[in-house]
Structure 1
């Protein structure tokens, strides 16, 4: 998050542009996924309930179907009332009237040691032929992860591209005066708290390895940048200099962060070694420079600056130097995010009294509005560059949404009675 250029309704100002994070509502660790819209081309697929899943802690077929629908690449068809598993021979006379192109069926079996054996088979429903098989053995706690692995496997088999369903997202909530940093599955389920604090937590940013989060905490009554190891819960301060320390972004090699510091006066970008060392100042202008975002190769740094009068997105060498303006559509553009394939720039643009997510194709400069709401913030790309997650206001409540890059298919990850902010999409888990 940018502490300097942001929709006023989310914050209250302090001196010299310092803004505190404000959230309201009840913390929410679970979501309800609502998919809306129709993609230009969607492959019709049937996911049959897995044999044995009713006795398992997770319903594998439902998770897989939801994953595939949310991707925007598939149209889920209602499964006929019949028992199938990975060893069955489907009655194609039943499936052909559905115009299905693919069929997924499988089984979930509890083993003697308490683990679960998950198996699946994918069929080409047009040709009536087997296409691929899947097998996984997991603990009960990892059944949701196994279901997401099935989804990634189906996605790869049918599209040729890597799926992102085993990835995770982070977000922040506030409840009863306490802030929570949550880690959840890509569908928002299975959330667990990584950090709770009576003071604001903002700007969570995943390390490229997916093992650490960087974020800003106000627990010292000022913004301080921390790096948090998720497996152990251990964390350490990486930026606690005079003034504000904000907006951390990981370099692709995970060895350094770029953050906004005001230690030398003004808001400037600095590269900070994660393992310790003197920060290297990257910007020298007298303007505000904040919200850094790396290109995938680590050679270019995108950031927000008001050097032209209003906040706009610029780019420069990751080692510093002259900056080039990137955004020209709209007079207030913030929160840059670069797709992992390096093709796209997503950002929040002020339109009227609110903010909407815009998408720019970097090669051509063409800009497309992805949303028609007025409270959008902090877009973040999925690891395969095919989806975006962002925070917005939906029906009077703050919520997370995902959208395809054509804006046609959106999924609402809606909190059950709480407000949700600050999403960031992490890498795929092995």
Structure 2
């Protein structure tokens, strides 16, 4: 199939029904994009977010302190979660470093519920740093968390993300997702010229961008391995679609599916052994299971004349969710990993596609529409059957749950440009991740990096 078939969601492009949807799900049209540092904007937060202060960490190293300090990164992380309201440094009367230095009465007058303090010192062997930090409950004058960590050279930002995760879990009760990365597709090129496509990974806050693959042909559908070491994606570098697995640490890649016709929509199993893909080797696109260890031959999971694509494993690996138009319009179905009959999952809405699951497996974020005009991100709750619309755009797509289930990352259009956006699973918090120029697309949120 020609990869230049127009995308489904923009209305009025001439393609109808399954053909328009197939063009979308295979990513056969990739808009012009331009690489740039992502900037996170808080669109909506929770009214009455938790007041917290992150005092500047004492810098006790012979090396110059970086511009982005550990404490400023922690404060920014907590702020963009939408659940916390960090105090501005200019409003802090004290700069305590140790719990014994804290005058709790002063912080109570400043109406702060929790306080984070710490220091950064050189490691005893001179290789890297050590960070000591403390989380204190101001109202009860208690220490909630005291930890120290060894940090390799150049890893201060990642350490700040880990500290943010620990603070988030101590106060919210679920793991944080700051020590994660996002992958997305970028294409750059002058107007009227041939674009150059890039597969990019960055920290969850938009920093530390790295180009993994650069090509003159489209790169689509990136997805993370469960250990966050690899990305699977679809490449047209050979002139037709291939599914490739890329090791981010060694730089090595492997073509795992290059069948004639469609090779698309890869998804790793929770143990990393299998890859679910959509292949048209027997006619219509169906879901196949590939053994990445090479011990089993490819196995066809669905056998239906309809379009079957966008597989995703349940968190326990026992089931595979996928999109199919077997009922006339795209809806989400689930099938046992061992095979059998597929069961329809979504019924509310005329269109539900591209499912992503939270860690519990009970919530599905999808592209949702009641007609043929507006495509938004919604969450289906499998227990209650309720649907919650998270986004307010017209052409929202590619949802991806955070590994702690708190947020959903997705692609959107704003003022004629492609941007990344995120919304909390309950719809109360919304963010926008905007590049300095151009568009970004096809986001995928990594597991927590261990």
Return the TM-score normalized by structure 1.
0.93
Q: Structure 1 stretch 377-386 or stretch 109-118: which is displaced more? A: 109-118
Distance in structure 2 (CA, Å) of the matches to 1:12 and 1:186: 37
Q: Of the candidates 77, 85, 88, which is equivalent to residue 87 of structure 2?
A: 77
Report SS of the residue matched to 1:155.
helix
Q: Of the candidates 143, 166, 173, which is equivalent to residue 179 of structure 2?
A: 166
Q: Are 1:356 and 1:376, in contact at CA under 8 Å, matched by a contact in 2? A: yes
Distance in structure 2 (CA, Å) of the matches to 1:362 and 1:250: 22
The corresponding residue for 1:198 is: 216
Report SS of the residue matched to 1:327.
coil
Deviations 1:191-236 (A, max 9, x none): 1111111111111111111111111001011110011111101010
Q: Of the candidates 66, 70, 73, which is equivalent to residue 76 of structure 2?
A: 66
The corresponding residue for 1:286 is: 305
Q: What is the CA-CA distance between 1:34 and the residue it aligns to?
A: 1.4
Q: Are 1:152 and 1:166, in contact at CA under 8 Å, matched by a contact in 2? A: yes
Q: 1:393–1:57: structure 2 CA closer, same or farther, 3 Å change rule?
A: same
1:24 aligns with 2:44: no
1:105 aligns with 2:113: no
The corresponding residue for 2:264 is: 246
Q: Structure 1 stretch 43-52 or stretch 5-14: which is displaced more? A: 5-14
1:52 aligns with 2:69: no
1:325 aligns with 2:339: no
Task: Please list, as runs of the form range in 1=range in 2, the aligned pairs for 1:378-417 lying within 5 A after superposition.
Answer: 378-417=398-437
Q: Structure 1 stretch 82-91 or stretch 266-275: which is displaced more? A: 82-91
Richer in strand (by share): 1
Report SS of the residue matched to 2:446.
strand
Distance in structure 1 (CA, Å) of the matches to 2:213 and 2:271: 25
Q: Of the candidates 333, 348, 361, which is equivalent to residue 367 of structure 2?
A: 348
Q: 1:118–1:341: structure 2 CA closer, same or farther, 3 Å change rule?
A: same
Q: Are 1:12 and 1:22, in contact at CA under 8 Å, matched by a contact in 2? A: no
Distance in structure 2 (CA, Å) of the matches to 1:427 and 1:170: 11
Q: Of the candidates 306, 315, 331, which is equivalent to residue 312 of structure 1?
A: 331
Q: Structure 1 stretch 219-228 or stretch 269-278: which is displaced more? A: 269-278
Task: State the Cα RMSD in Å.
Answer: 2.4
Q: What is the CA-CA distance between 1:99 and the residue it aligns to?
A: 2.0
Q: Are 1:38 and 1:409, in contact at CA under 8 Å, matched by a contact in 2? A: yes
The corresponding residue for 1:119 is: 132
Q: 1:196–1:88: structure 2 CA closer, same or farther, 3 Å change rule?
A: farther
Distance in structure 2 (CA, Å) of the matches to 1:81 and 1:36: 30
User: How many residues get paired?
Assistant: 427
Q: Are 1:122 and 1:130, in contact at CA under 8 Å, matched by a contact in 2? A: yes
Return the TM-score normalized by structure 2.
0.89
1:36 aligns with 2:36: no
Q: Are 2:410 and 2:422, in contact at CA under 8 Å, matched by a contact in 1? A: yes
Q: Are 2:332 and 2:352, in contact at CA under 8 Å, matched by a contact in 1? A: yes
Distance in structure 2 (CA, Å) of the matches to 1:140 and 1:399: 33
Which runs of no fewer than 5 residues in structure 1 stay unpaired?
A: none
Distance in structure 2 (CA, Å) of the matches to 1:66 and 1:57: 14
Q: Are 2:34 and 2:440, in contact at CA under 8 Å, matched by a contact in 1? A: no
Report SS of the residue matched to 1:322.
coil
Q: Are 2:180 and 2:203, in contact at CA under 8 Å, matched by a contact in 1? A: yes
Q: Are 1:306 and 1:312, in contact at CA under 8 Å, matched by a contact in 2? A: yes
Distance in structure 2 (CA, Å) of the matches to 1:128 and 1:67: 24
Q: What is the CA-CA distance between 1:69 and the residue it aligns to?
A: 2.2
Report SS of the residue matched to 2:165.
helix
